[in-house]
Amino acid sequence: GGHLSSSLGVVELTVALHHVFDMPEDDIVWDVSHQCYPHKMLTGRRDRFNKLRQLNGLSGFCKRKESVYDSFGAGHSTTSISAVQGMSIAKSMLNKRRNNCIAVIGDGAITGGMAYEAMNSAGYLKNRMIVILNDNGQVSLPTGTQTAGGVAPASQLSAYTSKLLVSKPFQDFRDFAKSFNKLLPENIQDVNKRVDEYARGIVSGGTLFEELGFYYVGPVDGHDLDNLIPILEKLRDSPSNKPVLLHIKTNKGQGYPPAEKASDKMHGVGKFDLGTGVQVKGKSVAPSLTSIFANSLIDCATEDRNIVGITAAMPGGTGMDIFGRRFPKRTFDVGIAEQHAVTMAAGMACEGLKPFCAIYSTFLQRGYDQVLHDVAIQNL
């Protein structure tokens, strides 16, 4: 059990990273780190997976005290770019021999505001780092829930990166090598400028990231080791201090048909039949608390048109997917942005709506200041 499809989607990426970089001297930070199972297997922990997420067993996430290869602990999202920037600054200030710091962040986690705070800072300070945007089109759990924004992934950035994937063919190493000019010293850039403009075209696909100060590479097929490895090697060996964003496209649940076909891609599972993907669940005649909440809210919303529902990328776990099927225009998925969700709810309440902001308690810690400052103090 555990986080299955997230790990299946990054098998090739994990192999490539460990082939190219030298951990633990080099740092690889997995955002959320629910996709870290291949990483753990490659760093001497494969024989402990029978005790995954059990007492005295392997953690389901990266954990610094568990292994020197776990550069940074996680379990919640959007922290990797900030952590990697700090590591890069420290390596530079301490004159360490190597400064290779890599953040792997998904298109769901990058919807959180902290990612933009970090990119804004890294681009301004020009810290040497590689951010790998793992784009699998799965922002919410499950993606495809009916909301006021439709059924597309709950992120305008996801729509933007999807356009990049559609409008630009996958970049192979030869294409990348031609455009690598931008990471070289300025005098060499001037000599090769005409070649670079020809290679990249007049319009750059990564304008948003480049405006934030990053060198954009991509999109790249995240399952193609023949291209992924030489691109990572080139980035590793570059003398540039400019931060890089490598945009890769992967399939969540890659290689396992039951996961690829499931609406939630078998994101988090218990025991299941390997051949069919059917999960082993105990029989229960009692409805879940989540379904009771959702159906009760539907009953109330049927009588009161001012009731709306808000989720931070977790419609399935909060019951907002059930509410959304009944009231799609009154259901709002804001992505992994708990702070924004709470304050948006406060704004709705100011104008007379009755928002129900459903967030896991473990995730609401990120919106605690907003609950106090923007809701409680104002008696909303």
Q: Which residues are catalytic?
A: 252, 338, 366
Q: How far does the chain reach from its first CA to its final CA, in angstroms? A: 41
| Cα radius of gyration (the chain) | 22
Cα–Cα nearest to 154, from 92, 217, 110, 195? 110
* CB-CB contact of 102 with 29 (8 Å): yes
* CB-CB contact of 209 with 216 (8 Å): yes
* CB-CB contact of 323 with 357 (8 Å): no
Residue 61: what are its φ and ψ, rounded to 5°? -135, 170
Instruction: Please tell me the distance from the alpha carbon of residue 9 to that of residue 4, in angstroms, as a whole number.
Output: 9
Instruction: Please tell me the distance from the alpha carbon of residue 98 to that of residue 23, in angstroms, as a whole number.
Output: 11
> For residue 286, which amino acid is it?
A
Cα torsion 12, 23, 83, 183: sign = negative
Across-strand partners of 356? 309
Q: What burial letters (b/e) apply to 142-163, b meaning 16+ CB within 10 Å?
A: bbbbbbebeeebbbebbeebbe
Helix (H, G, I), strand (E, B) or coil at 84: helix
How far is C-alpha 57 from the chain's CA centre? Answer: 26
How far is C-alpha 24 from the chain's CA centre? Answer: 23
